Amino acid sequence: MRTLLLFTTSAALLTCAASAQRLAAYTPAPGFISECQPANILLPAAVPPLMVYPQVPALPALAAPAGDSTFDNTIGFHWVTNGAILAAQPTPAFVPLGPIPPAIPIPAAVLAAIGGGPVTGIALDSVAGIMFLVGAPGITIGVAPIPGMPVVVPPFPLAFPFVGPITGLEWDSVAGMLYACNAAGVTYSYFPGGFPAAPPILPAILLPGMATDVAVDRTLALNPVGLRPLYVLAGPAYFDTRNPLPLMQPAGGPMGQGLAFINHSASNMPGAVCPCPATTYPIVGPIMTSVMTFGNAAWGATMTGLPPGFPMVFGFDVGGFLPGFPVINPPVGCGLGLTLTGTTILAPVAADAFGVATLPLGLIPASFLLGTGPFYMQNATLCPADPTFGIVITPVHTLYACAP
């Protein structure tokens, strides 16, 4: 895939209007997580949540603004808290690369250090293994997310004027800083130690509810005004607060308490499969094998539900995509998105004995650099019902080598 590197590096320099891949909103009562795909370069419109599943183990819901969530984009699982307990669980999107930690009560000494009340925001530095916790008074502490929660970064207040209560927290591994939001949706950025990194951002729209969390886009792509999207969750919806004309998008619950960015591909037809008529294949696809994070050698794409030994062609386009997605073989399959020019790369793979075709694509140097993308993937397999080409094609996915 060395050729893929050369083209995608160039493509990344030309892209200025892409957006997030997947966000997870955590709703403590009754206790569920909804994964959403924000508007992006393939689909510039709000869509309902892609999947909704229980939060496990269920945590007793405390009064807002207690509670938050974050995502480990190195190993690939959720962290959630109700303000007094820290718990972890996988996503149905892929299998995590490591064990899921047990639920951990937050020690009384840690709660006392952040102001004595419940935790209102959590943010994970998954590279260093530091979980940052913040309370309503704006005091942040960094702990190891293991039983006992030993302190790694001593507690510190925000070293600048702010309006409380602080209701959410996020870690930016690229800039090495934290984002916090208050109940009014004002976001603050600061370095460990509490010193400001940039001026606060006020929301450009009227919020549908109390703001409870903030999440930064980890693709390193830019929104229409040339900034990395910074999403704020407010009541039943979220929006990019760095966009002066933000699109309010459904979060899946009436009052979410956590918002987390997941390094996952984005589809131009979220949730669609486009099976071959009169067959059962493909059942699901494409599926990511794990977190789409730079440095993850275990990342790849799979297609399931194929006859054993059946051919599947994984197609990548590094020069762009066909925005109209024309249906080239109606009524079979999804619309064509690959340009099928000199920028298209095709990789045939045979399904294994379980009907799964997998293409490993480790996101490691020298094949990929941090932030490589966007590049586009669309797959095809044989389909007897198609009288034109004899194939069925899947939706287009947009890919990046995301920051952890």
- Residue 12 pLDDT greater than 70, yes or no: no
- Look at residue 40 in the predicted model and tell me its pLDDT: 85
- Residue-wise pLDDT tens digits, 343-399: 999 999 999 999 999 999 999 998 899 999 999 999 999 999 999 999 999 999 999
Residue the block writes with tokens 């510039």: 44
Mean pLDDT estimate for the chain: 93
Indicate the pLDDT class of residue 14, thresholds 50, 70 and 90: very low
- For residue 246, say if its preceding peptide bond is cis, omega within 30 degrees of 0: no
Sign of the alpha-carbon dihedral angle for 279, 284, 286, 290: negative
Structure tokens at 379: 């797959």
- Residue-wise pLDDT tens digits, 290-309: 999 999 999 999 999 999 99
The sheet carrying 258-262 orders its strands as: 51-54, 32-36, 22-27, 258-262
Give the whole-number percent of the chain exceeding pLDDT 90.
87
Indicate the pLDDT class of residue 20, thresholds 50, 70 and 90: low
Every domain of the chain with CATH number 2.110.10 lies at: 22-262
Higher pLDDT: 316 or 5? It is 316
**Length of the chain (residues):** 404
- Look at residue 86 in the predicted model and tell me its pLDDT: 98
- SS3 call for 286: strand
- Residue 5 pLDDT greater than 50, yes or no: no
Report the relative pairing of strands 375-382 and 311-317 from DSSP bridges.
antiparallel
Could you name the CATH architecture of 1-17+265-404? Sandwich (2.60)
Distances (CA, A) of 308 to 131, 276, 312: 44, 16, 11
Residue 173: alpha-carbon gap to chain centroid: 14
Indicate the pLDDT class of residue 9, thresholds 50, 70 and 90: very low
Every domain of the chain with CATH number 2.60.40 lies at: 1-17+265-404
- Look at residue 158 in the predicted model and tell me its pLDDT: 98
- For residue 136, say if its preceding peptide bond is cis, omega within 30 degrees of 0: no
The stretch 17-38 carries a mean pLDDT of: 87
- Residue-wise pLDDT tens digits, 85-144: 999 999 999 999 999 999 999 999 999 999 999 999 999 999 999 999 999 999 999 999
Residue the block writes with tokens 């140097």: 365
Residue 274, by phi and psi: left (phi above 0), alpha (psi -120 to 50) or beta?
Answer: left
- Which helix H or strand E contains 14, and what residues bound it? helix 2-14
H-type alpha helices, 95-223: 108-113
Indicate the pLDDT class of residue 170, thresholds 50, 70 and 90: very high
Would you give the end-to-end CA distance of the chain in angstroms? 22
* CATH fold of 22-262: Hemopexin (2.110.10)
Beta-strand ranges (E) seen in 309-343 are: 311-317
Residue the block writes with tokens 């010193």: 195
- Look at residue 4 in the predicted model and tell me its pLDDT: 43
The stretch 236-263 carries a mean pLDDT of: 97
The model carries a pTM of 0.94
- Look at residue 1 in the predicted model and tell me its pLDDT: 42
The stretch 156-178 carries a mean pLDDT of: 98
